[in-house]
Amino acid sequence: MHIGLIGGIGPAATLVYYQRLCAVMAERRARLELTLVQADIHELIANNLADRREAQAVIYAALIDRLKAAGADCAAITSIGGHFCFEETVTRSSLPLVSAVEPLDDFFAAEGIGCVGLLGTRVVMRTRLYGQLVRTRAIALDGEIESLGQLYQDMAVAGVCDAATRAQFLDAGQRLVDQGAEAVVLAGTDLGLAFDGQETPYRVIDALDVHVAVLADLASGRRALAQPS
């Protein structure tokens, strides 16, 4: 299956999606058919903060049309924060849209995790992953959503993470565990900049990896696209 990716939001996350998809497909000795289009991170941030879902969905729909014209069979948004207008995009999309959020509830349940701590954008933390977790309780550092969200936004735009920013995110993860989280979920696709290669005394789950696994299953024919309900 030909995978279409909406990238650029942010660039670092897009690179990781590409690298990890390539790695999984290479392990499976399967050919990867992929097309990438570029969204604008500043435009997305502005629409996200103002909750302009329809406006962002229109932008995504045009990009998805380009993916379809290139031969893609499905599309995916390479940003958890960019999923804030997922339902609005689905209604406009010319291709099936593969969610990065929907598979997480099943994944946590299968792992026997009852409570997760969230790090990501303001909206992701405030809405507890858009309210899509049914079988798993989600918590966030509610008094710090604004500051952590800004920290995440600055890192995503820059595409790099300095030592001070990394230390703040690692500490936030520990405090989520102290409040009862059984695992810390990187619910922002650029958080690998802070956590990749770091040893933590708590379990870290990268939501990006769960999404990549679904996309790799589709790309290699191990999974079929879900039929619309």
Q: Same domain, yes or no, for 79 and 16? A: yes
Residue 228 lies in a domain: no
Numbers of helices and strands, H then E, in the chain: 10, 7
Are 66 and 162 part of one and the same domain? no
DSSP code for 70: T
What is the domain count for the chain? 2
Residue type, 120: G
**Tens of pLDDT, residue by residue, the chain (229 residues):** 999 999 999 888 899 999 999 999 999 999 999 999 999 999 999 999 999 999 999 999 999 999 999 999 999 999 999 999 999 999 999 999 999 999 999 999 999 999 999 999 999 999 999 998 989 999 999 999 999 999 999 999 999 999 999 999 999 999 999 999 999 999 998 999 999 999 999 999 999 999 999 999 999 999 999 765 5
- Do 9 and 72 share a structural domain? yes
Q: What CATH number has the domain bearing residue 9? A: 3.40.50.1860
Q: Is residue 224 part of a domain?
A: no
25 and 78 together in one domain: yes
Tell me: the pLDDT tens digits for 138-173? 999 999 999 999 999 999 999 999 999 999 999 999
Q: Are residues 94 and 110 in the same domain?
A: no
**Can you give the residue range of the structural domain that contains 110?**
102-207
Selection from 216, 170, 215, 214 nearest residue 191 by Cα: 170
Q: Are 109 and 188 found together in one domain?
A: yes
Tell me the one-letter amino acid at 216. A
Q: How far is CA 142 from the centre of its chain?
A: 20
184 and 166 in one domain? yes
Q: Is residue 83 in some structural domain?
A: yes
Within a domain: residue 144? Answer: yes
Task: Please check whether residues 46 and 74 belong to one and the same domain.
Answer: yes
For residue 32, give the DSSP letter: P
What sign does the CA torsion over 105, 110, 112, 113 have? negative
